[in-house]
Each structure stands twice: as C-alpha cells, then as structure tokens.
Amino acid sequence: MSQSDDQIASAWSFISNHGHVLVCIGRNSNVRVRDIAQAVGITERAVLRILGEREEVGVIARIREGRRTRYEIDERLPLRHPIEAQHSVGELLQLLGS
C-alpha cells in the first residue's frame, strides 16, 4: 500500500460520527460532551449538533440532573435505512459492545 493509500484507509470508517456518538452514550449515559468529542475525534459543537439531530427524531432523550446531563437511547427504534430496518438501534449498540 502506498502512503496515500494508508492515509485514505486511516481516514475511512464503517461507522459514522453519529454512530460513534451513540456508542459513547451506550457505554456511559453520563458521558460529557467534551469526552464524546475527544473519543470520536470531532468538535464539541459537532457532538451537540449530532445530539440535537438524534433527539429531534427520538433516538435519544436528554435528562438534566442538576448541572449534568444524562442521555437515554431508545434502543427499540428500528435503524432508518431500508437495508437495516429489520434491526433496532439496540441491536447495533450490542454488536458494537455498548
């Protein structure tokens, strides 16, 4: 593999940033936005955008507990793409070790 092939391979991932954010929450519902951003390799602003989008469609719920926020994932929801629609969010998280 040439250097450019190595760079392309290292930048490519099967799971989107949306998926990575859900995995982080699945592993720790009390995880901070800062920690999600660091783990996924994106900005805190990008994490907040993803959380807002997922909250809008009902995948996650934000629960304020004092100064902290806890997240709940509705694992019963089906995945959105027709190819995966027979599987749930929970199945995906289980597969990814959450």
25-42 residue pLDDT tens? 999 999 999 999 999 999
Cβ-contact 40, 19 below 8 angstroms: no
Q: Evaluate whether residue 1 is within a structural domain.
A: no
Kindly state the average pLDDT of the residues 10-23: 88
Given this model, what pLDDT does residue 12 score?
75
Contacts of 92 (CB under 8 A, 6+ apart): 19, 22, 79, 84
Indicate the number of domains in the chain.
1
Question: By percentage, how much of the chain surpasses pLDDT 70?
Answer: 89
Given this model, what pLDDT does residue 23 score?
96
Other residues' Cβ atoms within 10 Å of the Cβ of residue 58: 9
Kindly state the average pLDDT of the residues 70-83: 95
62 pLDDT higher than 90: yes
- In this structure, which amino acid lies at residue 65? E
**Pairwise CA distance, residues 93 & 88, whole Å:** 9
CATH number, domain containing residue 23: 1.10.10.10
- Cβ-count burial of 26 within 10 angstroms (0-12 exposed, 13-18 middle, 19+ buried)? buried
Residue-range definition of the domain harbouring residue 58: 15-95
Q: Evaluate whether residue 85 is within a structural domain.
A: yes
